[in-house]
Structure 1
Amino acid sequence: MSGRIFTGDELTEDRVITCDVCVVGSGAGGGVLGHELARRGLDVVMLEAGGYRTRRDFDLKESTAYSTLYQELANRATDDLSISILQGRTVGGGTTVNWCASFRTPPEILHRWRDVHGVKGLDENTLAPHWDWLEERLNIRDWPIERANRNNQLLWEGLGKLGYSRGTVKRNVRQCASLGACGLGCPTDAKQSMLVTLIPDAVEQGMRLFANVNARKLEMDGMRVVAVHADVLDPRTDRPTGRRLTVKPKVTAVCGGAINSPALLLRSGLTAQGLVGKRFFLHPVVVSTGRFRERVEAFQGAPLSVYSRQFIDRGPGKLGWLIEVPPIHPVLASVTMPGFGAAHQELMARLPYANAVISITLDGVHPEDEGGTVGLRGEGEYTRLKIDYPLTDFHWEGFREALKVAARLQFAAGAEQVLSPHSSPVVMNSEKDVALLNSAPYAPLLCRVASAHQMGGCAMGGSPKTSVVDSTLRYWDADNLFVVDGSVFPTALGVNPMETILGIAHWGSQHVADAVGKHS
């Protein structure tokens, strides 16, 4: 029997429904989990706070995309505004708006989770068959350098000239038209997101998906979740309509991502001895902007297809980073490119000639780096997110060195000028000017930092004293509650996280399915 996708305007009265599993969230974790549970014949209800939008709604306009497909209209940030956070909020979650980069988890990260954090039974051999299946289903394939846009080719050339390691990125696309609009929603359905692959499959197999429904609280009875209470939102205003949806499942899986999942648990009074929301990681990013004589047109073509992990491991006590390039669309560029007034206007006028190099730093793998916290402020119905992410000398040293490497790469690729992301940017006209970065100010709000990757906050591990969920993704203090998304990572990854989340969700689906049998 086929399921259905409901939107908020269809829910005109309070409703109470029952099911085998309630999946909260429809991104990489929830999308895979919902599919696997529905495939097993279970009755699945999926809740998504964002709207249900498809290729017909993706008009290639940033003004449309950021206001409808992202958390807080793409304005989510840490409480001190020092780090801006891009995060999806729509059916398909981050898989609908990400840049398609697909990496398997680095083995050294999985080994660290095992050896330091006590995660059991999760290694590259265990995950390999799950990744194999996902890569086939989602058409995850290498994107050859011959098809790279000029923005990525410049990085490739700079890495080659400096003798740094380099590779091409696998992308989850099928018949990609290289429009460069991945972050705005794919208008041709080439991106093999959860929106166009596993979620439709799950609905065909009976899953009910409720969009514009925001899960607010899990109701507990002892060690069991007995209900998920959710607000129905108006699809046009994104505000509560006053109607409520209550789901009474046998098992609940929280899959809202590394910010919203901890927040839901905290609103429900589930703190895991104070560990929920702790060890939250962002992959903080600094951006180096290059200006070239040639047209780069970084707003067109596959946005991210070249990478380097040359500097991912700089040794004990040093922050490492992954090197990539982002797409450069006007609105996104305007809030990340440095400068003010006439200087900023002139830089924007030269947008077709701009290249950007991003340094995606790897946090959480050094003892001194505990990451940030996700918390709540206020009481009852009026709680609000509180995201803290202290940036210390440890981070600033890494940012400084990453910007120096990025500038050298850009000059090696032929840049005429390179600008740093400082509020008063360091302007470099040749490689000899890179040393000027040493004396630049490195402090919150004086140097722009951003992130599109969120991890941790509900860490898995070998003990309830140090982790929120066990090695089967079950919440330690509840018999029928699982967390299945990037929030379970004990550390960050050092690569784009989508495929790790996909793989862990596919692997973890069996544990969730087994729990349904126990609670039937």
Structure 2
Amino acid sequence: MTSGYFPVAPELWPEEHKKSYEGGIMTAMSTVATDFNKSEYGAVIQTPSSHPGLFSILMSWNSGTNIKDRMHKFSRTAHVFALARDQASGTVVDSPNCISYQMKDVDKDNLSKGIEKVLRIMAAAGAEEIGTHNNKGRSLKVKEVSYHEFEKFVNEESSMSVTDLSTPVCSAHQMRSCRMGNNPKESVMNQMGETWEVEGLYLADSSVFPTALGVNPMVTIQAIAYCTAQHVLEVLKRKR
């Protein structure tokens, strides 16, 4: 995630009275970094809403004065994140409470490219100050630095490691843990949503996706649930 502070200026923030935490939960999306390596597995850029508690724990700690200043600017701070359609996968190990997930290099590259784009978008939109959300994250006052200083900041912040626990990496909309397919050896469910192993057992959520989508799966889940439900009704009618 990144943040951008926008000062009071009609051309930058048209609705002066509006706060960053008001309005829709997620209001904009860009695919500018989706296909930078021709794989369609790049990063989607989105703007989420954020409350003060979440914002405060994401920001890097420098001093009490610094965090006070950032919280004071919260209502006019925009938040943008890069969402990667990952190619990696995980497994449950030892117990239901322990999982193992190894991020692939291509996923790291996609996130880095996404963060680079986000920082540039913030600056181009007129943010007075931009920064990244991680333990070692820094901020930059865009209009007070040279072009070379800006480029150095963007390159350094977007290339920070995402596997040394210094950068928060979140997972949302888990998918394909019980993938659907036409081969029992490569899938858990058939195309109708019924498990290969247990007759009459159906699933109709994101776990049956053949692969990760890279976008919010709400509408896809609704469609699969509807189609699966229609099939179940047909099965029940035949058994009557």
Question: Which interval holds the TM-score relative to the shorter structure?
Answer: 0.7 to 0.9
Alpha-carbon contact 1:312-1:494 (below 8 Å) kept: no
Alpha-carbon contact 1:372-1:387 (below 8 Å) kept: yes
Q: How does 1:101-116 map to 2 (within 5 A)?
A: none
| 1:376–1:500 CA distance, 2 compared to 1 (3 A) | farther
1:313 aligns with 2:31: no
Cross-structure match for 2:11: none
Distance 1:319 1:464 in 2: 26
1:479 aligns with 2:191: no
Distance 1:341 1:456 in 2: 43
Distance 1:362 1:351 in 2: 29
Cross-structure match for 1:435: 155
Distance 1:429 1:353 in 2: 15
Q: How does 1:127-146 map to 2 (within 5 A)?
A: none
Cross-structure match for 2:45: 323
Shift of 1:395: 2.1
1:371 aligns with 2:127: no
Cross-structure match for 2:78: 355
Distance 2:165 2:141 in 1: 24
Q: Aligned AA for 1:488?
A: V
Q: Select which of 167, 183, 201 maps to 1:447.
A: 167
Deviates more, 1:506-515 or 1:492-501: 506-515
Alpha-carbon contact 1:462-1:470 (below 8 Å) kept: yes
Unmatched 5+ residue regions in structure 1?
1-286, 364-368, 378-383
Moved over 6 A (4+): none
Shift of 1:370: 3.5
Unmatched 5+ residue regions in structure 2?
9-15, 143-149
* CA displacement 1:80-133 (0-9 Å, x = unmatched): xxxxxxxxxxxxxxxxxxxxxxxxxxxxxxxxxxxxxxxxxxxxxxxxxxxxxx
User: TM-score, with normalisation over the residues of structure 2?
Assistant: 0.83
Cross-structure match for 1:48: none
Q: Aligned AA for 1:485?
A: D
Q: How does 1:234-383 map to 2 (within 5 A)?
A: 287-294=1-8, 297-316=19-38, 319-339=41-61, 341-342=63-64, 343-363=66-86, 369-374=87-92, 377=95
Shift of 1:318: 7.8
Shift of 1:329: 0.9
* CA displacement 1:201-247 (0-9 Å, x = unmatched): xxxxxxxxxxxxxxxxxxxxxxxxxxxxxxxxxxxxxxxxxxxxxxx
Alpha-carbon contact 1:426-1:440 (below 8 Å) kept: no
Distance 1:344 1:372 in 2: 36
Shift of 1:388: 2.8
| 1:375–1:440 CA distance, 2 compared to 1 (3 A) | closer
Q: Select which of 91, 107, 110 maps to 1:398.
A: 110
Q: Which structure has greater strand proportion?
A: 1
Alpha-carbon contact 1:339-1:423 (below 8 Å) kept: yes
Q: How does 1:111-122 map to 2 (within 5 A)?
A: none
Shift of 1:332: 2.2
The count of aligned residue pairs is 223
Cross-structure match for 1:457: 177
Shift of 1:439: 5.3
Distance 2:216 2:92 in 1: 21
Shift of 1:291: 1.5
Shift of 1:375: 5.6
Alpha-carbon contact 1:318-1:394 (below 8 Å) kept: no
Deviates more, 1:497-506 or 1:446-455: 446-455
Alpha-carbon contact 2:88-2:107 (below 8 Å) kept: no
Alpha-carbon contact 2:5-2:78 (below 8 Å) kept: yes
Distance 1:498 1:374 in 2: 25
Q: Aligned AA for 1:467?
A: S
Cross-structure match for 1:269: none
Distance 2:187 2:137 in 1: 41
User: TM-score, with normalisation over the residues of structure 1?
Assistant: 0.40
Alpha-carbon contact 2:2-2:130 (below 8 Å) kept: yes
Identity %: 30
